[in-house]
Structure 1
């Protein structure tokens, strides 16, 4: 697709194209690029860098998950500690699943990126550039806030929390690790093996939090871009009769054809985004119910035990997870609301000043807008604010059941 849209014009119609592209993609490139997920067209040895990064990150995840699972099964007898470690293990497995899905979907991600690049390449009017920049800023801000919460909580959990409590096994103090290891692996307490294991655990944590923040950032990037394109279509419809912001379209028929062409393009782009995100969103939502429930329970336990550092850490993690789910639901709601406005605008313009044959052209657009663009979690639940409310209510219901079961 890159060559296709570059052939349309030897020089980009957007003089700020490079700066705009860097502004739009910079954060997601940093987060997902470090994991080998962000698709980059390179040659030579650099083209294998993503494969190496994916392999190393999966090894780091397995290095933490397998010993932790063995510890839960064979070593840990306390039900409360098992519950805490189970939440950690479930979070790791969920992140690993999302990581594998994103790695498999790299060609689709590249296709969405090319869609975005093409739209920025073709920007002609200043008003269109302002609209696109506004929605790009919204997506960027959502990514920054979500990543800030997630990384801050991760740093506290991996660097501060393990060293704030005393660790003893058989009346012997042991050096703390982020993820517990199987008792048969006694060498993990000996230097320099301990330092290597600790660094591997931190690398695992970075992978987990980057996958979580990167998936939300990717959804925010593509969804807000689609909203920006829809807003441009709406502005075209509002100025249909005057003919403003139309390139070489002297009559209404050509203007309507250009609007329909842009609308079809947005719908196709949204379909590709749906293919990229539906499995990730399904895993995110199915795991978030349990993860939020467990984090709420951990906060209650630390409140009762007056563990302020643990309470602050789990509270920050809880806010991070809730905000990530909220981001997905918010952009889904925003996309549905914005795409449904097209039908409303088609009716509200002065269509009665057009000929009956020309006015009938809006019927199909109104019919398409009656089925707004949606992002779903595995085609099972649409992302919306009502879905976010259902996630919170379900997690609270599970929390009540869990407390009754443990007590």
Structure 2
């Protein structure tokens, strides 16, 4: 079997190999969207140890948490103070639940900053050690796929957010029982220390709610983009690793040296890739659980809002906002399930590629060392929701079916009332 010395030598060879001269620009190209969205809110790990940078980083985190809570807390206060009816609570529970889910995902990402930094450093090392042009092209193609997912997520989410925060400006103001015009905010709010409906408090609260929405949408899209980037990066590494296993039999540009060193190099890279997959899965498992619950509830509620508003002939802009919101939630949960399925498939393909090499040309005592990578590739490696539910396309269909079941139940109760 492969001994520790061979593994150490193979790892040392990979570390001291010639570096990719454009690895910094390649890495930035892959994670550009995530950096632009997460860094302003303090969710991107700090790479500088100066006191000023640390203080600014903590200030960004505190500001991000304050802005998101600026929407959540006043909404809950108004629900309690005004003793809303079940119908009003049902109408407002979707934005509240959605914002709380984003806040939970944001806090979880901050909580796992060390693990996130470790994954980023791992990815950076992969780009640095990619010196073969074909491998770099494979990784760039997968990085482009991750960027595409991030761009579509941003387009859906911020389009829906623009409609949501524009709604009070285009809809007629409400009139209370005293025949007084009441100006409303995008999100219901109640501040016990001042009247948020009177100027200039109204404009100030409106501005802070707009900032809160931008912060929440940046956190939501940034995490989705980051998840897509990590998974597509692993997919690219799986394709590169396949070439390493194929070069075990015939000395090639990916994997050369003696047969012992070739097997050791391939196995070492496989173990390193599996460590990255494990770190990514552990990093996002609670976030995926929050997304699973959020999507199941909000698909049901948004569908209910659309049907109800169509029956009541509500504003086209309001209905369009709910349609955009529904499309955004469905796309983002589909994104998580699709990349989870993709991750599972690509990791299994590594074992298939190892099995399909011309192992009969290798001495039998050496060929038996390839059994371990094949067996390890058979174990399920995918994103999970709280390590309970695998985020695959099958799970996506289950979420849609569950949401439609709750939607039909909700619509039935509403029609009886």
Please state which band the TM-score falls in when normalised by the shorter chain: over 0.9
Matched, 1:241 2:249: yes
Match of 1:26 in 2: 32
Q: Which residue of 1 aligns with 2:337?
A: 329
Alpha-carbon offset, residue 186 of structure 1:
5.7
Q: Does 1:154 align with 2:152?
A: no
1:368 corresponding residue in structure 2:
376
Give the corresponding residue for 1:81: 88
**Cα distance in 2 between the residues matched to 1:183 and 1:275:** 39
- Show the counterpart of 1:267: 274
Q: Is the 8 A contact 2:173 2:183 kept in 1?
A: no
1:300 corresponds to 2:307: yes
Match of 1:199 among 204, 207, 215: 207
Distance 2:169 2:323 in 1: 16
**Separation of aligned partners in 2, 1:12 and 1:343:** 28
Q: Is the 8 A contact 1:162 1:177 kept in 2?
A: no
**CA–CA separation in structure 1 for the residues paired with 2:18 and 2:183:** 58
Instruction: Indicate the SS of the match to 2:205.
Output: helix
Alignment partners' CA distance in 1, 2:271 and 2:27: 23
Q: Does 1:37 align with 2:37?
A: no
**Aligned 1:270-289 pairs, distance under 5 A:** 270-289=277-296
1:48 maps to which residue?
Answer: 55
Q: What do the CA deviations read for 1:96-132 (whole angstroms, capped 9, x no partner)?
A: 1111111111111111100000000111211111111
Q: Is the 8 A contact 1:37 1:54 kept in 2?
A: yes
Residues 174-208 of structure 1 deviation map (CA, whole Å, 9 limit, x = unaligned): 22211112386662122221111111111111122
- Deviation larger for 150-159 or 258-267: 150-159
In structure 2, the CA distance between the partners of 1:302 and 1:377, relative to structure 1 (3 Å rule), is same
The 8 Å contact of residues 162 and 176 in structure 1, kept in 2 or not, is answered as no
- What is the RMSD computed on CA atoms of the aligned residues? 2.0
Secondary structure at the aligned position of 1:360 is classed as helix
170-179 or 309-318: bigger deviation: 170-179
- Residue 235 of structure 2 is matched in structure 1 by 227
CA distance in 2, matches of 1:276, 1:327: 17
| Aligned equivalent of 1:60 | 67
How far did residue 394 of structure 1 move? 0.6
Q: Which residue is 2:403 aligned to?
A: 395
Q: What secondary structure is seen at the aligned counterpart in 1 of 2:405?
A: helix
Greater shift in the superposed pair: 334-343 or 38-47: 38-47
Question: In 2, are the aligned partners of 1:163 and 1:176 still within 8 Å (CA)?
Answer: no
Unpaired segments of 5 or more residues in structure 1?
Answer: none
SS in 2 for 1:330: helix
Distance 1:165 1:315 in 2: 21
Normalised to the residue count of structure 1, the TM-score between the two structures is: 0.94
Taking structure 2 as the reference length, what is the TM-score of the superposition?
Answer: 0.91
Q: Is the 8 A contact 2:190 2:196 kept in 1?
A: no
2:386 matched to 1:353? no
- Measure the CA separation in 2 of the matches of 1:154 and 1:173: 25
What is the CA-CA distance between 1:372 and the residue it aligns to?
Answer: 3.4
Offset at residue 82 of structure 1 (A): 2.0
Distance in 1 between the 2:182 and 2:343 partners?
52
- Asked if structure 1 preserves the Cα contact closer than 8 Å seen for 2:37 and 2:222, the reply is yes
Shift in Å at residue 45 of structure 1?
1.5
Residues 162 and 325 of structure 1, relative CA distance in 2, 3 Å threshold:
farther
**1:12–1:179 CA distance, 2 compared to 1 (3 A):** farther
Q: Which portions of structure 1, spanning 4 or more consecutive aligned residues, are displaced by more than 6 angstroms?
A: none
**Distance in 1 separating the partners of 2:21 and 2:229:** 22
Matched, 1:212 2:220: yes
Q: Cα offset for 1:56?
A: 1.5
Deviates more, 1:365-374 or 1:112-121: 365-374
